Amino acid sequence: MLVVHKYGGTSVGDLERIENVTNRIIKVKEDGNDIVVVVSAMSGETNKLVGYAKHFTSEPAKKEMDMLLSSGERVTASLLSIALQAKGFDAVAMTGRGAGIITDDTHTYARIESIDPTAMQNAIEQGKIVVVAGFQGTNKEGSITTLGRGGSDLSAVALAGALNADRCEIYSDVDGIYTTDPRIEPNAKKLDTISYDEMLELSSLGAKVLQSRSVELAKKLNVKLYAKSSFSDNKGTLITKESNSMEEVLVSGIVLDKNQARVTLRGVSDRPGIAAEIFTMLAEANINVDMIIQNMGTDGSTNLGFTVPQSEHENAKKLMESFNHDMQGMDFDEHVCKVSVVGVGMKSHSGVAAAAFTVLAQNNINIQMISTSEIKISMIIDENYGELAIRTLHEAYGLDR
């Protein structure tokens, strides 16, 4: 078998943990498998590097940020390879480029365009354990790019696809996918399997256990994906095509996304083209807009609200202040979060949303924005109540049972 393992920041958080990872890899190798390992930076390292850059400017150049941030993963890949060699195993460390990953030019959020797995395949043929620095590639000109925060998950899935690996196992500090973040709700239940679609929904709503782009790619390439813990030998969760256990349940998961900031534009001129102007401007600045709410206009004006990632809040604020025409005022709130209830069963049941609103009301939690789709309800609330909301909703939908 050829397997790809990915070890996240906490799993390689210090030298002892890197040593623990070597033992896990050696076991796979000794069982007669070939293995490619993708690693993240040691936990906290990427944020520390972001902090260093922000010491000098609030808007560091993205190209330089990529060169800076990609270094964290290189440290772990080299150390892990050295640790394996010290135990007598033939290992080789590769950068994203070394592993053949070519991306587009979107610095800090690059898309993988192609992977040439030859170098990895040659090393595997020579019996080597291949250790790849996650989260990075290079563009066609050879500049280093990174794949967005949490992007080592994407590296692992993409490499598993390119190598036609038998499975791709993502190791973190939780032993699988739960009905909600088990750190917030200790009664959360682990799922044996979950469908790509449902996992994609949880991830894109902010459950950071798997990066959403990695789930999207796993679905596209049909990669057999597992979420497991590097601190136990528990079975983990299989993310796969169909998961009939999920179809029957009304609500399958609750998600908290703390990385949200709200922008409200008041008294915006109610004329054709105004929304296009505002959101084109944000798109051109590469600001990802998440929830958008607009009211029916009255007296020729309307209110327009939307959310952006917290890291983009300052940029969005500057842009809106520079636009500042065709509206009466604006306000910004960084201290919000998004709480979402997910379940394919909602399609055919009414009253799921009403139940969520009722539960939050009973706990005196004010809902600032609401958006729904066939299979999810998302609500923007004060960030201080995020965890309480998660626990109450989890209980209200009986997910703890």
Residues making contact with ligand ADP (CB under 6 A): 8-11, 40, 150, 172-174, 177-178, 180-183, 202, 207-209, 253
Partner interacting with residue 13 (select from Mg ion, ligand ADP, ligand ASP, none; CB below 5-8 Å by kind): none
CB of 57 to ligand ADP, least distance (A): 27
**Measuring CA to CA, which residue among 283, 279, 306 is closest to residue 378?**
306
Partner interacting with residue 195 (select from ligand ADP, Mg ion, ligand ASP, none; CB below 5-8 Å by kind): none
- Give the span between the Cα atoms of 33 and 96, in whole angstroms: 23
Tell me whether residue 9 or residue 161 sits nearer to ligand ADP (CB atom): 9
CB of 364 to ligand ADP, least distance (A): 25
Give me the 130-159 binding string for Mg ion, x by CB under 5 A, dash otherwise. --------------------x---------
CB of 40 to ligand ASP, least distance (A): 3
Tell me whether residue 171 or residue 306 sits nearer to ligand ASP (CB atom): 171
**Measuring CA to CA, which residue among 44, 64, 43 is closest to residue 54?**
64
- By Cβ distance, which residue is nearest to ligand ADP? 8
Number of C-beta neighbours around residue 300 at 10 A: 9
Tell me whether residue 210 or residue 265 sits nearer to ligand ASP (CB atom): 210
**Measuring CA to CA, which residue among 324, 273, 326 is closest to residue 301?**
326
- Give the span between the Cα atoms of 362 and 356, in whole angstroms: 10
Q: Which stretch binds ligand ASP (CB under 6 A): 82-90, 149-157, 303-311, 312-320?
A: 149-157
CB of 371 to ligand ADP, least distance (A): 20
* Alpha-carbon separation of residue 305 from 42, 261, 265, 288, 302 (angstroms): 37, 11, 6, 14, 10
Residue reference for tokens 């807009």: 289
Number of C-beta neighbours around residue 354 at 10 A: 10
Per CB under 6 A, 40 contacts ligand ASP: yes
- Give the span between the Cα atoms of 67 and 296, in whole angstroms: 46
Which residues lie near Mg ion (CB under 5 A)? 8, 150
Query: Would you tell me which residues interact with ligand ASP (CB under 6 A)?
Result: 8-9, 40-41, 46, 72, 134-135, 149-153
